[in-house]
Amino acid sequence: MGVPDPVGGATDLKRVFDDHIGSADPRQRRIAARAFDACIPAFLVGQGETPSPEPLIRVLPAERRAEREAAYRLLYARCHRFLDASRASLADLQKQLQTDRELQEPGLRAREDLAGGRDERAELLVSQALASDDPAGVASLAGLAGQLALRRNPDGSDRDLVQRARAVDSALSWVACDLGLDCSVNSLGALQLCAVQGMCEGDMPSRFLTRAVADAVDPAAVQAQRARLLALIRSGRVLGTADLLP
């Protein structure tokens, strides 16, 4: 696929979209969809309004306002060429992309299939996502371990299973960084974490660790799951839900 993460460090997300949306490879088109989703609907203004980050900036709280404003402005700079199109055409394009199931990240589709009892489809998607050439697919699996734990233990009585699933879900985004996702301070993901959630310090792994601690997830358990998952993915064998949450 070339660059592991052509979206995370891109300064012109419209160019990324244009370069990938026409591909016959669904993975390439998902790159285009990620670029589009980073910008729309976040910066989609009302009909007749001038595109600007100001509506998002105006409603920011006082805490970390300066950092979050700066993050929104940087995000807008990466997105602004999308906004040359009309609101109506962007909304139409958004609908088209949303109806193409192949453009949805494999983790999202796997969660939907598990919820719908389509276990075989979910297994295939998990195997695809855990392929080492798709770090964004790996990141998209975050949340699936918790869903698997709930299925195995609906009443949540197995606390060890619950905590293990939470550590797996916390580790998946970190593993994606190890596999090539841009997780630097100025990456797309870092800017989004700052602008939207107020998490503005350090690179993405340090922010993941901060969030894990805030969510009462043992950092040592997260690191153990990170090492386990990374070794499995790099082993090259076909993986599934039993590997994700043993």
Q: What pTM, to 2 d.p., does this model score? A: 0.90
Q: Give the model's pLDDT for residue 134.
A: 83
Residue 141's nearest CA partner among 241, 242, 63, 237 is 241
- Residues 61-74, mean pLDDT to the nearest whole number: 97
- Residues 179-187, mean pLDDT to the nearest whole number: 95
Task: Return the ∠ at Cα 59 (arms to 58 and 65), rounded to 5°.
Answer: 80
Task: Find the range with the poorest average confidence among 15-19, 62-66, 215-219.
Answer: 215-219
Residue 241 confidence (pLDDT) above 60: yes
Summarize pLDDT for 79-124 with one digit per residue, the tens.
999 999 999 999 999 999 999 988 999 999 999 999 999 999 999 9
Summarize pLDDT for 2-13 with one digit per residue, the tens.
567 899 999 999
Residue 1 confidence (pLDDT) above 70: no
The residue written with tokens 């839900």 in the block is 241
- Residues 6-28, mean pLDDT to the nearest whole number: 95
3-state secondary structure string across the chain: CCCCCCCCCCCCHHHHHHHHCCCCCHHHHHHHHHHHHHHCCCCCCCCCCCCCCHHHHHCCCCCCHHHHHHHHHHHHHHHHHHHHCCHHHHHHHHHHHHHCHHHCCHHHHHHHHHHCCCHHHHHHHHHHHCCCCCHHHHHHCCCHHHHHHHHHCCCCCCHHHHHHHHHHHHHHHHHHHHCCCCCCCCCHHHHHHHHHHCCCCCCHHHHHHHHHHHCCCCHHHHHHHHHHHHHHHHCCCCCCHHHHCC
- Residues 179-194, mean pLDDT to the nearest whole number: 95
Q: Give the model's pLDDT for residue 45.
A: 83
Between 96 and 134, the more confident residue is: 96
pLDDT band at 78; cut points 50, 70, 90: very high
Q: Give the model's pLDDT for residue 49.
A: 84
| Percent of residues, the chain, with pLDDT higher than 90 | 87
Domain ranges of the chain: 13-102, 105-244
Residue 113: CB atoms within 10 A of its CB come to 18
Mean confidence (pLDDT) of the chain: 93
Q: Give the model's pLDDT for residue 3.
A: 63
